[in-house]
């Protein structure tokens, strides 16, 4: 057999192998993708998972937790005690910290959405006007109780915004940081008059009225991003899922959740 014939034979075998892979049932290469996700991106993600699973043949396992903090189900705590994950979806600064700590793969961060902080009250309760800085401050002062997130939005509210406004002594004693539960749920059952959290985390909660976002002068935009876990068992499938979330198929679900797609 000549050299040319051997080269052609190897090429032909390669094409045949590629064709067989392309024709193989999706189930043969299906993976179980473990996704640790915080609340900000959860609602659109929940909606897009069935489409991804149907088109890819993969199965997604959702593990919820806060982007930061020391609650037992917070994502950094979960990873710290060795829980397995393939994809991490959380606030970008928190993802960067996880990558720096060795829990996320360097260079894997993909920004997905921009998110704003909003406020809610119990359904039927008076709706304060928070469209201006003065109105927002008045709403905080008049409320008997306030609930805020244990994650990115709540950290900004309690540690940056309220001290910057000079209201720490007045507001923080009647404000409560909510662990392992949606702020809207606390407001819906009457345990707090006002609730502050990412808009996408407030909108799906029954029993509350969403009254608006913080005024621009007080607002903090949060980027939610996805990355691959450092010890991912299904890195290739994880990359496919992240590409799907950043692609055009995800845009409608993202916008319905009150978020702005980045790509």
pLDDT of residue 180: 83
Q: What percent of the chain has pLDDT over 70?
A: 89
Residue 10 has pLDDT above 50, yes or no: no
Query: Please, which residues have CB within 8 angstroms of residue 91's CB and are 6 or more apart in sequence?
Result: 38, 40, 67, 68, 151, 152, 222, 223, 224, 225
Confidence of residue 153 (pLDDT cuts 50, 70, 90): very high
Domain boundaries along the sequence of the chain: 28-114+222-261, 117-213
Confidence of residue 6 (pLDDT cuts 50, 70, 90): very low
Does the fold of domain 117-213 match that of domain 28-114+222-261?
yes
The fourth-level CATH superfamily of domain 117-213 is Periplasmic binding protein-like II (3.40.190.10)
Architecture in CATH for domain 28-114+222-261? 3-Layer(aba) Sandwich (3.40)
pLDDT of residue 1: 46
Residue 70 has pLDDT above 50, yes or no: yes
Q: What is the pLDDT of residues 157-197, one digit of tens each?
A: 999 999 999 999 999 999 999 988 999 999 999 999 999 99
Mean pLDDT (the chain, rounded): 90
Kindly report the pTM of this predicted structure.
0.78
- When pLDDT is averaged across residues 204-223 and rounded to a whole number, the result is 96
Residue 137 has pLDDT above 70, yes or no: yes
pLDDT of residue 189: 96
What contacts 24+ positions apart, CB below 8 Å, involve 245-254? 245/45, 245/48, 245/89, 245/110, 245/112, 246/110, 246/112, 249/48, 249/51, 249/52, 250/44, 250/48, 250/112, 253/43, 253/44, 253/45, 253/47, 253/48, 254/44, 254/112, 254/113
Q: What percent of the chain has pLDDT over 90?
A: 83
pLDDT of residue 24: 36
């Amino acid at each position: 057999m000549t050299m040319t014939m051997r080269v052609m034979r190897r090429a032909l075998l390669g094409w045949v192998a590629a064709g067989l892979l392309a024709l193989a049932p999706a189930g043969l290469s299906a993976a179980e993708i473990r996704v640790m996700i915080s609340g900000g991106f959860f609602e659109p993600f929940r909606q897009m998972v069935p489409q991804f699973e149907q088109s890819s043949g993969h199965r997604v396992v959702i593990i919820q937790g806060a982007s930061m903090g020391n609650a037992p189900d917070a994502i950094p705590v979960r990873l710290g005690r060795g829980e397995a994950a393939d994809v991490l979806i959380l606030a970008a600064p928190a993802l960067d910290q996880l990558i720096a700590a060795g829990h996320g793969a360097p260079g894997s961060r993909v920004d997905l959405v921009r998110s704003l902080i909003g406020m809610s009250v119990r359904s039927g309760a008076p709706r304060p006007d928070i469209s201006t800085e003065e109105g927002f401050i008045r709403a905080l002062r008049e409320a008997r109780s306030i609930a805020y997130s244990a994650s990115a939005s709540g950290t900004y509210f309690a540690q940056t915004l309220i001290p910057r406004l000079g209201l720490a002594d007045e507001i923080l004693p009647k404000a409560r940081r909510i662990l392992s539960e949606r702020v809207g749920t606390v407001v819906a059952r009457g345990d707090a008059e006002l609730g502050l959290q990412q808009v996408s985390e407030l909108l799906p909660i029954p029993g509350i009225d969403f009254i608006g976002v913080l005024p621009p002068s007080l607002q903090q935009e949060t980027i939610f991003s996805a990355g691959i876990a450092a010890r991912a068992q299904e890195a290739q499938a994880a990359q496919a899922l992240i590409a799907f979330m950043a692609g055009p198929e995800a845009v409608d679900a993202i916008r319905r959740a009150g978020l702005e797609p980045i790509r």
